[in-house]
Amino acid sequence: MQIINNFIDGELIPPSSQQFLENVEPATGNVYSQIPESNRDDLSHAVAAAKKALPEWSGMSIEDRARILTRLADEVENASDELAKAEAIDNGKPISLAKAVDSYRASANIRFFAQAITQFSSESHSMGNEGINYTLRDPIGIVGTISPWNLPLYLFTWKIAPALAAGNVVIAKPSEVTPMTAFLFSKLCVKAGLPRGVLNILHGSGGNIGQAIVEHPEIKAISFTGGTATGKKLAATAAPMFKKLSLELGGKNPTLVFADCDFESTVNQVVRSAFANQGQICLCGSRIYIERPIYEKFKEAFLRQVEDLKIGDPLELSTQHGALVSQPHMDKVLSYIELAKKEGGQVLTGGERITLKGRCETGFFVSPTVIEGLPLSCRTNQEEIFGPVCTLQPFDNDDEAVSLANGTEYGLATSVWSNNLSRCHRLAKQLDFGIVWINCWLQRDLRTPFGGVKASGVGREGGLEALRFFTEPKNVCVKY
Ligand code: TXE
């Protein structure tokens, strides 16, 4: 049994209460590690350590801060195989995906912001002969980051990297469902020589330590990725305290396939966009709209590929579809499949829990599921399922495609597949989403604004947006 510890003031230590939670391997259903159930005493300890570290870290030259973060990125890159394996065990995702996406992006995030801070500049506004304004962008101080279980180290580093690069000190809470890689990461921080107290990692459940972080008066900003219901609760707590908030929440993303798309590559990419990470990515396209003339042909080719996805042990290199993250989450996904049937949906493939042989016999596997015959208004098409479930529906023209796409409370991401360039640009303008992909999906440039509109969140991450979020602008007005 592995024991995970908190990371406070540069030390790996158990929670003050000595209380631990069980951590389950989703592919087997077995408990394999123990994680701290941290409390407010642990938080006070972390905040005191962060406070002590703040003057030196925020006052350090940008070059020195960037150099330390680059060393950390190197350590993460050197440990990428170990981290990918740990992520596959902890989360249930295929190890090939954990290598290509999760551990790769963890080091890329840190390296990107280590470089970005050296290029960060602030504004100046001339008042002609009267004077000049310039804007200082200082670190906020102590900031909190709360991250989810679907891309554990990827999203953890996506938040802490800009926060640290901008000169803040951080109290970070990884998901209690997938704590392992953040724990391994804390050891890499020591190896890379990150000064004590600059980053403090507290493990534990959202309702306890997560809520305590949001409530803490000395933590001035919170960057959160997770479910919309949790986001609402967090906003209700933080708003009266006037905290800066960045919320990256759920999605119910539409995929618009037009008859003039590049057929083969579109089918490949749309399968990937629906089922990557077992559909547990906030950007996954779970409502697939297909222009009527190619509906049947597309459906057939799509189903053939979906049925070919290799479901298996996440630790086998050939596995393409692993386990869902937990028993409760699997139960939620299965209950949505039952709901879809009750709503009149026809399950074209999948639709059930899979029992594998051997090591993974009791794991949380659900087959990739494709459903048709459901209207936009039903719950299956309105609520975030966050699993390997997508629906297919035909459409007849551009206007109908846009209105179907925009017809939920969410607005995170959408993708458009067509060779008609002017249509693509026109639709991009009309689609009510933070991210529009044209003939691609999950094509990421870390400089671009990342986030959603409507119930998908508030604020943007990535590039300058993240550095602006983690700094406080102060205008200085000088009269000549
Ligand atoms: O996420 P939570 P859950 C969606 C997805 C999923 C649903 C619920 O639809 O089925 O959300 O998942 C911490 N104060 N997404 O319940 O609870 C928690 O410990 C402070 C979409 O697992 O939102 C974890 O670290 N923190 C999503 C983090 O919030 C709290 C990714 C996210 O967990 C807290 C994950 C509280 N009161 C789920 N309660 C995406 N946008 O990518 C919980 N937490």
CATH of the domain at 390: 3.40.309.10
For residue 187 the two structure tokens come to 């050891």
pTM of the model: 0.97
Q: Are residues 236 and 288 in the same domain?
A: no
Q: Are residues 176 and 239 in the same domain?
A: yes
Number of folded domains that form the chain = 2
Confirm or reject: Cβ of 176 under 6 Å from ligand 1.
Answer: yes
> Rounded to whole angstroms, how far apart are CA atoms 470 and 455?
22
Determine, yes or no, domain membership for 307: yes
Minimum-distance ligand 1 atom for the alpha carbon of 385: 9
Q: Are residues 441 and 465 in the same domain?
A: no
Determine, yes or no, domain membership for 126: yes
Q: Are residues 298 and 224 in the same domain?
A: no
Determine, yes or no, domain membership for 83: yes
Q: Are residues 441 and 472 in the same domain?
A: no
Q: Are residues 257 and 194 in the same domain?
A: no
Minimum-distance ligand 1 atom for the alpha carbon of 234: 14
Q: Are residues 336 and 218 in the same domain?
A: no
Confirm or reject: Cβ of 345 under 6 Å from ligand 1.
Answer: no
Residue 193 has a pLDDT of 98
Ligand 1 center–CA 230 separation, angstroms: 6
Q: Are residues 468 and 372 in the same domain?
A: no
Q: Are residues 389 and 283 in the same domain?
A: yes
Mutate to test the pocket of ligand 1, among 230, 335, 379, 435 (most ligand atoms within 8 A of CB): 230
Cα-based distances in Å from 265 to 13, 162, 182, 269, 281: 50, 35, 36, 6, 21
pLDDT in tens, the chain (480 residues): 899 999 999 999 999 999 999 999 999 999 999 999 999 999 999 999 999 999 999 999 999 999 999 999 999 999 999 999 999 999 999 999 999 999 999 999 999 999 999 999 999 999 999 999 999 999 999 999 999 999 999 999 999 999 999 999 999 999 999 999 999 999 999 999 999 999 999 999 999 999 999 999 999 999 999 999 999 999 999 999 999 999 999 999 999 999 999 999 999 999 999 999 999 999 999 999 999 999 999 999 999 999 999 999 999 999 999 999 999 999 999 999 999 999 999 999 999 999 999 999 999 999 999 999 999 999 999 999 999 999 999 999 999 999 999 999 999 999 999 999 999 999 999 999 999 999 999 999 999 999 999 999 999 999 999 999 999 999 999 999
For residue 144 the two structure tokens come to 């909190």
Determine, yes or no, domain membership for 133: yes
Q: Are residues 34 and 176 in the same domain?
A: yes
Confirm or reject: Cβ of 386 under 6 Å from ligand 1.
Answer: yes
- Catalytic residues, which ones? 248, 282
Residue 393 has a pLDDT of 98
Ligand 1 center–CA 206 separation, angstroms: 8
Question: Minimal CA–CA distance to 36: which of 15, 13, 8, 22?
Answer: 15
> Rounded to whole angstroms, how far apart are CA atoms 386 and 237?
25
Q: Are residues 62 and 176 in the same domain?
A: yes
282: Cα separation from own chain's centroid: 7
Determine, yes or no, domain membership for 392: yes
Ligand 1 center–CA 378 separation, angstroms: 24
For residue 230 the two structure tokens come to 């949790």
Q: Find the domain containing 320 and state its range.
A: 253-445
Residue 221 has a pLDDT of 98
Minimum-distance ligand 1 atom for the alpha carbon of 281: 42
Q: Are residues 437 and 423 in the same domain?
A: yes
Determine, yes or no, domain membership for 451: no
Determine, yes or no, domain membership for 231: yes
Determine, yes or no, domain membership for 467: yes
Residue 280 has a pLDDT of 98
Residue 1 has a pLDDT of 87
Q: Which residues of 120-159 are buried (b: 16+ CB within 10 A; e: fewer)?
A: beeeeeeeeeeeeeeeebebbbbbbbbbbbbbbbbbbbbb
The CATH code of the domain that includes 72 is 3.40.605.10
> Rounded to whole angstroms, how far apart are CA atoms 470 and 464?
10
Residue 330 has a pLDDT of 98
Ligand 1 center–CA 134 separation, angstroms: 39
Confirm or reject: Cβ of 248 under 6 Å from ligand 1.
Answer: yes
